[in-house]
Amino acid sequence: MSERPATLDVEQAEAALVRHYPRLVRLAYGMLDGAPRRAVTAHEVARNALPRRCTSTAKLPLTGAGGEDPVYVWLRLRVVRAVLERPWWPRGLPREEAPARAAHALRHLEGLTDPAIRQLLDAARVRDPEAALAYAETGAVAGAGTATRSGSGALAPPNRSGSTTRPDDPAPVPPASERDAAAGGFVPAPGPAPEAGRTSEDGQGSGRVQAPGPGPARGTGSGCALCAVGAPEPVVVVRRRRRARAAAAAVGAALACCGLLGVPGDTWGPDAATRAPLVRGTDAQRALDPGALVRVGADTWRLASRVDLGTWPARGALTGDESLLRRALVTWARPRADVRVSATPGTATGPPPGPPHLLYAGRLDGTAVVVLYDGLRVARYTEPWDRDGSRAARGGVSLELARTAGAGAGAAASGALAVSRTEGEVRYLTAPWVADAARVDLLDPADREGRVLSRDEAGVTARVPLPVTQPGHCESWPGLALAGSGGVAEDVELYTDLGEPLPARLTDGKRRDPATGAAARRRLAHMVCRLPAVLDGGVETVNTWEFARQRLPDGAGEAAWVCTRAETWRGTGARVLTGFQPPATAPGRRGALSSRARDTQACGPRSHEVLAGVLWRSRRGEWYVLAAADAGVTRLRARGHGLAEGPVAAVGHTLAARVGGRDASVRLSGERADGSTEHTRTRLG
């Protein structure tokens, strides 16, 4: 026998089936005497011998004569097993009849020796191969001819043309009752034997298998010496199986892709946002479950040791709308291409790490709004709402993310949230501890009380105008004044909208007190129109600090030097502006912007050092360079081109020096008590 392969590949088995199909059908037919629809069953057994996947042959006794195809030997064993395991034997036959017929067919059709037959029957799970051989020797096997009962009934091995070794034996013909059966009749294959090893002209398309080359596998006529009516040819069988495998592979690949992108009917289509997430059984799934949203009680803030957004209760008329909440959660996790997503600088846009905190869900100004908080970010989801309020409209969905932790959050920093922005107006959701809300004009220092803002039962204010940030149009600047209760943020705090979900808190001085005092409001009025320079920067607080006051030359009065610092929630990217504010009768008159910087400690809680200067023209028409520094500077110097009296030095932290005109170029420096020197980074002129 040829060396057996370690594994049997499906393609190897298919090729062997095509080559040896007539031989396998004849073997099955010889063992199936007495079976109903004998010829059809023989074809079925031969076709089913093909494996469905790559199979190991290590434990199979592939017995066969030397030079036999080991793949065919393996297929033959499968045919013998299939015949012996089929429940077709008539009840009147002895139990030994089936194994005996198998032994008889293997001896006379396959030409195997008794030891080889014994080993093959043992591999075919025959209990007593010796008894089967002995029973076959007696010649008492029922209907021992393949098609006739003549003579002794012995089956002779096939010759080169596929007939038995007795040349006078006719071609196998079944009994008339079997031949004439409507579904299972067969006819002997007509015509001469075709050329060995050939298939149809297209190699596979006709389904007509030609007999292989010389040897026991060769049959008479076509490749099938027994042709059942309606039985497909082996090439057709192989082609169908290969197509089925290709289709199964394509479906498997599609399902694998679906596992990554979303299963049809589960996470695809226009309603995907209302369905379950891709990753199941994880925190990612719980984060998208409306039932897992964190909801705190209405009085949690009264008992909490830290009062911030995490103590806000869930408010709004749609907090029970699971469909809306699921759309908001899924949009946060994986927004569709048509969703408008925006995020403040330094804000991560990924999904929440776990179930977020529900702050608000309701209808405002023709939109459905959901506000969520994950401990680090606030997410504001909006979608258009149909007029009848029965369902959410498609399209126009937006998601806005903003970092709200990491830079000193607390009750004062979390007094309100912008929940709705329409054309030129904004609505705020106030904190549960806010007792009073009012709208004030920050350009008018006298507007201390403002107008009371009405709020609905969820704590949402009436519309507040947005600041006009176009140059030359700063005629008023709306602000929000909030006062707390119950021992939380009871002092009035001022806020203004700078394009973020949380309004920026306005403070004053080194200690960053609320900018509500008379002097603080005057300073704020002079600089508030400069706030467009810090829009959309993730600003948490804006602090204005007066670091110096200076008597002006020519009796022009006293001016103030201020430093404005916009701190961000992320702690970096702070923007600093320094300004010169001359005495003015109009409260909202802006001063001169003397410098600006970014990502600096200057004018901040960690460093109060600042030095600034401007060119100024007095009422008499004289030009001066004016400079001021923080109180830590003990001497100022001015050097450069255009100074009327050359380099100038002044004791203290303010300086005024006359120059020849507006084209002067001056460099300023300051000396501190410890001997260190500070210089301005820009030239005047």
| pLDDT tens readout for residues 132-149 | 888 887 755 554 444 333
Which strands form 425-430's sheet, in the order they lie side by side?
A: 416-422, 425-430, 464-465
How many Å apart are CA 124 and CA 469, to the nearest integer?
91
| Alpha helices by DSSP H, 504-553 | 518-527
CB atoms within 10 A of CB 348: 11
For residue 561, the model assigns a pLDDT of 94
Give 455-492 pLDDT, tens digit per residue.
Answer: 999 999 999 999 888 777 888 899 999 999 988 888 89
For residue 625, the model assigns a pLDDT of 93
Q: What is the overall mean pLDDT for the chain?
A: 77
How many Å apart are CA 602 and CA 162, to the nearest integer?
104
| Pairing of β 398-403 and β 340-343 | parallel
Encoding tokens for residue 62?
Answer: 């592939």
For residue 551, the model assigns a pLDDT of 94
Section 194-209 average pLDDT: 36
How many Å apart are CA 516 and CA 509, to the nearest integer?
11
CB atoms within 10 A of CB 72: 20
Encoding tokens for residue 450?
Answer: 């403002």
Calculate the CA dihedral of residues 356, 362, 367, 368 and round it to 10 degrees: 40
Place of tokens 């467009």: 532
**Is there a contact between 54 and 9 (Cβ–Cβ < 8 Å)?**
yes
More confident residue, 275 or 678: 678
| Pairing of β 539-551 and β 504-508 | parallel
Record the pTM: 0.60
How many Å apart are CA 209 and CA 452, to the nearest integer?
95
Give 526-539 pLDDT, tens digit per residue.
Answer: 889 889 988 888 89
Hey, what amino acid is at 526? H
Place of tokens 């908080």: 373
**Is there a contact between 232 and 207 (Cβ–Cβ < 8 Å)?**
yes
For residue 3, the model assigns a pLDDT of 52
How many Å apart are CA 306 and CA 325, to the nearest integer?
27
Burial letters for 9-32: b for 16+ Cβ neighbours within 10 Å, e otherwise? ebebbbebbbbbbbbbbbbbbbbb
Hey, is 43 helix, strand or coil? helix
Q: Which of 71, 90, 89, 84 is nearest to 20 (CA)?
A: 71
Hey, what amino acid is at 116? A
Residue 433: pLDDT band with limits 50, 70, 90: very high
Give the list of residues 6+ apart from residue 523 with CB closer than 8 angstroms, or none: 508, 515, 544, 546, 560, 562, 581
How many Å apart are CA 104 and CA 121, to the nearest integer?
11
If you ran DSSP here, which 8-state letter would residue 211 be given? P
Residue 388: pLDDT band with limits 50, 70, 90: low
Across 51-65, 395-409, 422-436, which has the greatest mean pLDDT? 422-436
